[in-house]
């Protein structure tokens, strides 16, 4: 999806999307060696999407998936992503559940009971790979505008959409079989996808077919692609699976393998290049050694410089003579920003997506072309005569460096990774029965106090809103709207609103000056008849009503002791005003039957009323 | 004129709108009613609405307004050649067009519309046309160098232009040469014979050096360009009115001949199939590999002529088009046996003839054919089974397989062989040496050398591989063999 990355561009994209409906976009073009999107039509998925959309207006998105081996190691080493588990309705292909295991629950899936009850057929799949290519309707963009806190397309947006049952938006999946689809998300996937392209999985999107570039390369034996006008020394060895761009020169005894060399590069003698991505117009002087690195446009490597695996050199960086750039370092012409918030952004970029950090460097490179000469010539961060700063990354991110770099994962880490997978597999056996369900578990992890505080705070907020409404004579609709937004922001259920509103009403009645109990009942009557309507939207069922009774009970015991003797009267009043149905009252009474004596005070008090209700209902029968 | 309306009915077949139309609409002192015709695509429609202050009405209202109407104009927006060419280029690049026949036909149709829209200067008309076609042809060939049919058709069209131009010039030269001799006589009856002779002579110079021309001792004349242009120049001095008609004539003739070419391409299957009875006899066993439209037609034509024979179909991995061929043959009532590609050698001793289609036929008689055919040809040779190749004339390529321009093969996506999902762990680049141990190669074509081919059946009849160069000399002119212009530096 294009629109996601540039948040502000979303609006612009709406029009485009509406007009040229929706092309899947593959962010992989390692041969122009830039992150440039290539549009590929995927007619079948698009067709399906449109069809569905015509039938169901809520089908907002179609996610392209493909089969993959269900091995976490492979996924990690291929695309740098975690294992993915999704639940799909086998009939309609609707996506019901999505867990990319970025959270800590490794090896286990926890599904809500209700989730199983709602969907008669679910197929849980862990052998699917998310291509991160989605066909979306314009609604998706507006969803992003509404929910500005959606940071991550999958973790926030997809999960949010799946959990949110108010709007009823649906996500569907489309599985591709023989075709290839992928999206570059970090340096590791950049590496993997580039290699897939060289191995022709993306045919006809391969370098020897003229596609976005004008000069097509020729494919030679051992997967070597050669563009025109290459000057290569006889003693140079260009190894397998390599692309050499137009007009590049390669010196004596140079060895290049598994690499991509862009247009107009000058590679000197006795250079060894392995698994590197060298963009356009890069100069590499004699005797350099490069392994598994990315060199952006215009980089100069002075003679004898060495790049260790995982290095990324940004635009126009100069590496000094015989300087060894340490593994996984990222070098840019711009000094690293020190502000707190940008640090966070960096961390985010490193741990989640290489694209962001690359675009950063892209901008940097462009904007500082002129400045760089003066400002950074003195910097010797990167060797004698070098230009550029090594960006240091916080300790946590450093741990993750190896995950998302173009360098192969070190053997030791790989063992750890496999070990971790096996450990995880054992994990569920130990305490499986004790594991609570997803939702409960979530709340259980938070301390009880927290939730208590939260609900009290919520009640106070609702009360304040209600009082303000009473004083300023705000319309009921508006109050409901405000209470709704409060509910969402505090993550409360409907019944919480009902009880909170009811509480504030009773409080209002209590606070109104009164002299005797009868006065109080009268006040209550006034308030309820004036504002009772507010409770309607929140009293969806018997349970909500019981909640209100319980709340009142609690109030009588604690804050509003004055109500205690009047319990029956108020209950009767609520019954008369149709706020609480008899069924709720009877249920409440039934529930209380087994309770302690102290809890039964009010049940006893209202015994007569209940009896009357029972008789009335029997009569009706 | 306030209440006069002009109804404009747009008609377009291609999604392109010329600004001319828009400008025209602006300049009218009328209010313009536009009835939306079926053929207008959404994009054009929106463009129109944006550019012209038009009144959009329902077509039924036009009848009510008809007394107020000033007139009805039909505007046919011609498809823009540039857009057409780009469209075709894109399709070629994306490998959306498959099969040499379809490609050849589309190419010929595209070139026809290019010719019909090409503006031609007064002098050196043929040169201008050739230049235009060459420029486009070069792009087309570069877009999919493996599909040689594109290049073949481009060269054919160039040849047609040269031929037509030549016959026109010789005709006019013949006419001119008559004038001084017969001053007083009316030139009702120009000397047809002499003109034809000149044309024939000139035509033979067009061809590649062949045995015939050597024997006849006709010297290689100067390049055609000069002769034709000088002829044009001399003509210009004498007759200026002739030019218009001539340019129209040239275009007309060329388009006529290209139409014929397109007809030839469409009917080549039938022409080849007509010869089936001569080659397939009773109770024979025929072996074929993969699927080819020509082969289906050929076998079915023999079946229709009441020949009873059996067909062995090798499935043709990795695309297994043999399966569809088998289905097709069974539907037509032919006794069919499906075998794997690897079983070909085991079965070949029972086979009377191998009949296959080709991707392209090179000038030396070698065949570029679907992968696996070289193996079949070798097996056939071992058991002295005739190896017959069916090829429409559009598959005839004037190049030799050793020419550097010829791209013999194309490696297709490995996904035809393996499922990526199943093998994703073998494609792992993140571990160890970062280069995967598994490499899948999926070449599309085989090269079958001429000595393995017994017979070519084209729409002009059966030919030996060694005769191919002669056929090619008939269809192509030597000047066009290399289309790529040298980089001008």
Residue A77 reports pLDDT greater than 90:
no
Contact B175, B192 (CB under 8 A): no
Phi then psi dihedrals of residue A119, to 5 deg: -110, 115
In B, which residues are within 8 Å of A178 by CB distance?
A: 413, 415-416, 419
What tens digit of pLDDT does each residue of A261-291 get? 988 999 999 999 998 999 999 999 999 999 8
H or E element, residue A22: none
Max CA pair span of chain A = 109
Helix (H) or strand (E) holding B5: strand B5-12
**Quick one: tokens of A460?**
């106070």
pLDDT band at residue A349 under the 50/70/90 scheme? very low
pLDDT for the residue B412: 87
- At A398, the pLDDT band (50, 70, 90 cuts) reads low
Cα–Cα distance for residue pair B443/B422, rounded to 1 Å: 21
CA distance B428 to chain A (A): 5
Residue of A nearest to B146 (CA): A209
Question: Are B433 and A408 in contact (CB < 8 Å)?
Answer: yes
Q: Which of A241-250, A521-530, B412-421 has the highest mean pLDDT?
A: A241-250
Claim: this prediction has a pTM higher than 0.90: no
CA-CA distances (angstroms) from residue A218 to A208, A223, A252, B138?
5, 10, 23, 17
Q: Are B305 and B363 in contact (CB under 8 A)?
A: no
pLDDT tens string A538-561: 777 777 778 778 877 777 777 777
What are the CA-CA distances from residue A134 to residues A12, A58, A60, A407, B72 (Å)? 18, 15, 10, 29, 48
CB-defined contacts A:B, below 8 A: 107
Q: What is the pLDDT of residue B379?
A: 96
Structure confidence at residue A335 as a pLDDT band (50, 70, 90) = confident
Render the burial of A296-326: b for 16+ CB within 10 Å, e for the rest: bbbbbbbbbbbbbbbbbbbbbbbbbeebebe
User: Pairing mode, if any, of strands B69-77 and B285-289?
Assistant: unpaired
Chain B interface, best mutation among A43, A210, A218, by max B CB count within 10 A: A210
Residue holding tokens 């209002």?
A: A508
| Mean pLDDT comparison of A31-35, A225-229, A368-372, B118-122, highest-scoring range | A225-229
Residue numbers of A between 498 and 537 with CB closer than 8 Å to B? none
- Tokens coding A387: 């230009």
Sheet architecture: strand order including A128-136:
A123-125, A85-88, A94-99, A170-176, A59-67, A128-136
**What is the DSSP track for B249-306?**
HHHHHHHHHHHHHHHHHHHHHHHHHHTHHHH--TT-EEEEES--HHHHHHHHHHHHTT
According to the model, what pLDDT value does residue B80 have? 66
Query: How many other CB atoms are found less than 10 A from the CB of residue B409?
Result: 15
Which residues does chain B have within 8 Å of residue A213's beta carbon, measured at their own beta carbons? none
What are the C-alpha distances in Å from A582 to residues A536, A578, A588, B197? 16, 9, 10, 115
Tokens standing for B408? 């013999």
Q: Is A200 on the interface with B (CB under 8 A)?
A: yes
What six digits make up the tokens of A218?
Answer: 């020729």
Distance CA B285, CA B335 (A): 10
- Chain B: give the shortest CA distance to residue A87, in Å: 19
- Interatomic CA distance for residues A143 and A193, integer angstroms: 30
Per-residue pLDDT at A565: 77
Residues of B in contact with A216 (CB under 8 A): 142
Helix (H) or strand (E) holding B403: none
**Burial group, residue B334, by CB count within 10 angstroms (0-12, 13-18, 19+):** buried
- Cβ <8 Å between A177 and B419: yes
The shortest CB-CB distance from B412 to any of A80, A203, A411 is to A203
Per-residue pLDDT of chain B (489 residues), as tens digits, is 344 444 454 444 443 333 333 333 433 444 455 555 444 555 555 655 555 544 444 545 555 555 555 555 444 445 567 778 888 888 888 788 888 889 999 999 899 888 887 777 777 788 888 888 998 998 888 888 888 899 999 999 999 999 988 888 888 776 555 444 444 444 444 444 455 455 555 554 444 444 554 555 444 444 444 444 444 444 444 444 555 566 677 888 888 999 999 999 999 999 999 999 999 999 999 999 989 989 999 999 999 998 899 999 999 988 899 999 999 999 999 999 999 999 999 999 999 999 999 999 999 999 999 999 999 999 999 999 999 999 998 999 998 888 776 777 888 888 888 888 778 777 776 666 667 778 888 999 999 999 999 999 999 899 999 999 889 988 998 888 877 655 443
A368 touches chain B (CB under 8 A): no
Strand order in the sheet with B55-56: B55-56, B31-35, B5-12, B69-77
Residues of B in contact with A71 (CB under 8 A): 425
Chain B environment of A414 (Cβ under 8 Å): 431
Best CA proximity match to B361, nearest among B235, B197, B475: B475
Above 0.90 for ipTM, yes or no?
A: no
DSSP category for residue B488? -
* Distance, CA of A62 to CA of A71 (rounded, Å): 25
**Percentage of the residues of chain A whose pLDDT score is greater than 90:** 10
Question: Is some CB atom of chain B closer than 8 A to the CB atom of A77?
Answer: yes
Pick the residue of B87, B94, B143, B424 with the most A CBs within 10 A to test the interface with A by mutation. Answer: B424
Q: Distance between CA atoms of A329 and A334, rounded to whole angstroms?
A: 14
Q: Which of A10-19, A422-431, B385-394 has the lowest mean pLDDT?
A: A10-19
State the Cα–Cα distance between residues A428 and A106, nearest whole angstrom.
Answer: 9
Q: Residue B73: in which H helix or E strand, if any? A: strand B69-77
Q: Is residue B186 helix, strand or coil? A: coil
Cα B179 from Cα A30, distance rounded (Å): 69
Cβ contacts of A185 within 8 Å, gap of 6 or more? A79, A80, A81, A132, A352, A353, A354, A355
Are the beta carbons of A93 and A136 closer than 8 angstroms? no
């Amino acid at each position: 999806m294009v629109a996601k990355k540039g948040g502000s561009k979303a609006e612009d994209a709406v029009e485009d999307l509406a007009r040229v409906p929706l092309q899947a976009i593959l962010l992989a073009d390692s041969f122009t060696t830039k992150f440039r999107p290539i549009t590929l039509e995927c007619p079948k998925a698009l067709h399906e999407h449109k069809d569905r959309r015509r039938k169901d207006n809520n089908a907002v998105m179609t996610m392209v998936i493909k089969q993959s081996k269900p091995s976490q190691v492979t996924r990690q080493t291929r695309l740098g992503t975690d294992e993915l588990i999704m639940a799909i309705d086998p009939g309609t292909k609707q996506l019901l559940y999505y867990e990319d295991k970025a959270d800590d629950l490794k090896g286990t899936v926890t599904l809500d009971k209700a989730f199983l009850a709602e969907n008669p057929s679910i197929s849980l799949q862990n052998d699917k790979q998310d291509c991160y290519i989605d066909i979306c309707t314009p609604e998706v963009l507006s969803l992003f505008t509404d929910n500005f806190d959606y940071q991550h397309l999958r973790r926030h947006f997809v999960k949010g959409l799946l959990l949110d049952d108010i709007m009823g938006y649906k996500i569907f999946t489309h599985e591709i079989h023989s075709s290839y689809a992928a999206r570059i998300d970090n340096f590791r996937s950049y590496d993997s996808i580039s290699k897939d392209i060289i191995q022709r999985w993306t045919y006809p999107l391969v370098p020897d077919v003229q596609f976005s570039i004008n000069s097509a390369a020729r494919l030679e034996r051992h997967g070597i692609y050669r563009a025109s006008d290459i000057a290569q020394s006889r003693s140079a060895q260009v190894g397998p699976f390599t692309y050499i761009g137009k007009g590049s020169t390669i010196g004596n005894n140079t060895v290049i393998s598994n690499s991509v060399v862009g247009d107009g590069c000058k590679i000197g003698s006795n250079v060894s290049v392995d698994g590197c991505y060298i963009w356009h117009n890069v100069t590499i002087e004699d005797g350099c050694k490069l392994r598994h690195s990315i060199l952006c446009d215009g980089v100069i490597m002075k003679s004898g410089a060495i790049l260790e695996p995982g290095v990324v050199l940004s635009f126009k960086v100069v590496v000094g003579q015989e300087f060894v750039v340490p593994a996984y370092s990222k070098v840019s012409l711009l000094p690293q920003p020190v502000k707190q918030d940008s640090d966070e952004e960096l961390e985010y970029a490193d741990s989640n997506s290489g694209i962001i950090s690359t675009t950063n460097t892209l901008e940097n490179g462009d904007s500082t072309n002129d400045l760089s000469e003066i400002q950074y010539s003195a910097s010797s961060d990167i060797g004698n005569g070098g230009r550029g700063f090594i960006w240091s990354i916080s300790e946590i991110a450093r741990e993750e460096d190896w995950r998302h770099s173009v360098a192969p994962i070190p053997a030791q880490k790989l063992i750890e990774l496999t070990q971790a997978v096996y450990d995880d597999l054992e994990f569920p056996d130990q305490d499986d029965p004790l594991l609570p369900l997803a939702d409960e578990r979530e709340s259980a992890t938070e301390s009880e106090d927290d939730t208590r505080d939260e609900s009290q705070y919520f009640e106070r907020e609702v009360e304040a809103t209600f009082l303000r409404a009473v004083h300023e004579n705000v319309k009921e609709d508006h109050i409901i709207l405000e209470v709704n937004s409060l509910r969402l922001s505090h993550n409360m259920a409907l019944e919480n609103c009902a009880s909170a509103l009811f509480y504030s009403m009773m409080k209002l009645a209590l606070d109104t000056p009164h002299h005797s109990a009868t006065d109080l009942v009268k006040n209550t009557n006034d308030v309820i008849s004036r504002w009772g309507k507010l409770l309607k939207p929140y009293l969806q069922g018997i349970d909500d009503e019981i909640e209100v009774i319980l709340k009142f009970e609690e109030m009588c015991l604690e804050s509003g002791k004055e109500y205690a003797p009047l319990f029956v009267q108020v209950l009767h009043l609520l019954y008369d005003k149709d706020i609480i149905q008899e069924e709720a009252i009877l249920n409440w009474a039934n529930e209380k039957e087994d309770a302690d004596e102290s809890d039964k005070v009010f049940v006893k008090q209202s015994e007569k009323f209940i009896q009357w209700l029972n008789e009335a209902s029997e009569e009706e029968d | 004129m306030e209440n006069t309306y002009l109804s404009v009915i747009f008609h377009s077949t291609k999604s392109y709108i010329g600004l001319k139309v828009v400008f025209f609409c602006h300049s009218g002192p009328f209010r313009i009613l536009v009835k939306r015709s079926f053929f207008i695509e959404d994009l054009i429609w929106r463009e129109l609405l944006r550019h012209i202050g038009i009144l959009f009405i329902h077509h039924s209202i036009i009848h009510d307004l008809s007394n107020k109407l000033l007139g009805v104009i039909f505007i046919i927006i011609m498809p823009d050649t540039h857009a057409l060419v780009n469209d075709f280029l894109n399709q070629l690049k994306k490998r959306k067009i498959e099969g040499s026949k379809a490609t050849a036909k589309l190419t010929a149709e595209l070139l026809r519309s290019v010719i019909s829209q090409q503006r031609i200067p007064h002098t050196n008309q043929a040169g201008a046309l050739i230049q235009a076609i060459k420029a486009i042809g070069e792009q087309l060939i570069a877009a999919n160098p493996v599909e040689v049919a594109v290049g073949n058709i481009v060269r054919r069209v160039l040849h047609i232009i040269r031929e037509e131009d030549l016959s026109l010039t010789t005709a006019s030269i013949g006419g001119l040469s008559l004038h001084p001799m017969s001053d007083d006589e009316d030139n009702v009856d120009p000397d047809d014979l002499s003109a034809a002779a000149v044309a024939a002579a000139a035509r033979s110079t067009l061809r590649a050096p062949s045995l015939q021309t050597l024997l006849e001792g006709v010297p290689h004349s100067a390049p055609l360009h000069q002769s034709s242009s000088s002829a044009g120049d001399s003509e210009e001095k004498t007759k200026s009115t002739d030019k218009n008609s001539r340019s129209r004539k040239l275009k007309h003739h060329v388009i006529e001949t290209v139409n014929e070419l397109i007809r030839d391409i469409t009917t080549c299957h039938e022409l080849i199939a007509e010869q089936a009875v001569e080659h397939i006899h009773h109770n024979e066993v025929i072996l074929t590999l993969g699927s080819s439209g020509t082969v289906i037609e050929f076998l079915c034509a023999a079946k229709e002529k009441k020949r009873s024979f059996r067909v062995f179909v090798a499935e043709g991995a990795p695309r297994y088009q043999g399966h569809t061929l088998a289905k097709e043959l069974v539907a037509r009532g032919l006794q069919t046996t499906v075998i794997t590609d690897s079983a070909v050698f085991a079965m070949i001793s029972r086979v009377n003839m191998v009949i296959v289609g080709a991707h392209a036929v090179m000038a030396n008689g070698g065949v570029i054919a679907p992968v696996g055919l070289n193996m079949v040809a070798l097996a056939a040779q071992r058991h002295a089974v005739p190896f017959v190749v069916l090829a429409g004339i559009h598959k005839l390529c004037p190049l030799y397989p050793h020419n550097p321009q010829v791209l013999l093969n194309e490696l297709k996506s490995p996904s035809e062989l393996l499922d990526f999902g199943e093998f994703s762990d073998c494609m792992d680049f993140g571990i160890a040496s970062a280069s995967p141990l598994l490499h899948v190669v999926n070449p599309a074509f085989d090269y079958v050398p001429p000595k393995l081919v017994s017979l070519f059946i084209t729409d002009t009849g059966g030919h030996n591989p060694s005769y191919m160069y002669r056929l090619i000399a008939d269809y192509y002119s030597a000047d066009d063999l290399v289309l790529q212009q040298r980089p001008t530096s």
